[in-house]
Structure 1
Amino acid sequence: MKTISSSFKKLLLLVALILVAGFYGYSKYQFALTVSNDVKQLQPYGSEQLELIDVSESAKRFTVRIAVSGLEPKFAESAELQSYYSNIARNYVCQSDYFEPKFEEGHQISIEFSKADSAQTVYERASVIKSDCGVSRS
């Protein structure tokens, strides 16, 4: 009888661990899906397209990487364009409720824009902390 009880407890523990891991994975997937949909709603500078590359997290930084494709060559290295995307990123982070828990955990949110043809090279980076969002964040 003791063996059955012990085996049953182990089975319950295994099921609980699987459920926790599944919920964690599902919540990460849902968050990435939400951010991906948000990125599609961001207004590009011109005719370029924006697409989510990935979302990552370290001890104190939460990073959203976005690919920019279709950049017109005359604007590609423009300070005005870089400033525009920096402002877009800051506004997005500050207006989105999805980043509030990350701010509460002390994270800095980074939005990195990369040219689609060289996704490893960051074109523009906007780093946002809670105080950058003004009085709307408590």
Structure 2
Amino acid sequence: MHAAASRGPLWRSGFRHSGPPPAIAKALNGDSARVLQGYAARIAGAQDQHTLRRLQKEAARKLVWATHVLRSVSDGYWQETLEDYASHFASLCPGKAEELAFFLEHARNPWAPGNVFNAKLLQFTGWMQHTQRAQACA
């Protein structure tokens, strides 16, 4: 159902311009921290280079997409591409843009050793959780 609504006639007719509320973003990615921690465990246990790179690519994409949990109520549109997510995130959190760029790069062409990737993944995931909780309390 979500895929049909996000790419069907409703999408083309203006849905993306008004954008769904942040509550939808949170509902779609409320489990992102748990999922990303699961990726870290699988990356740590990867037995071969192909599996490692596939898992890094998947985890990086999930992390970039999950940044929309930090959307504000006033955000005027719903991002379409990973690059859109990264650009929007950079406007919200310019001090973290370089860190997200690492994951955007790995979403396309992963290269980092598994332990380096995991350290960055878990640190960024923890930061997102903390930031999301702080927003909920504000």
TM-score by length of 1: 0.29
User: Higher relative CO (CA 8 A, sep ≥ 6), structure 1 or 2?
Assistant: 2
Instruction: Decide which structure has greater strand share.
Output: 1
Structure number with greater Rg is 1
TM-score by length of 2: 0.29
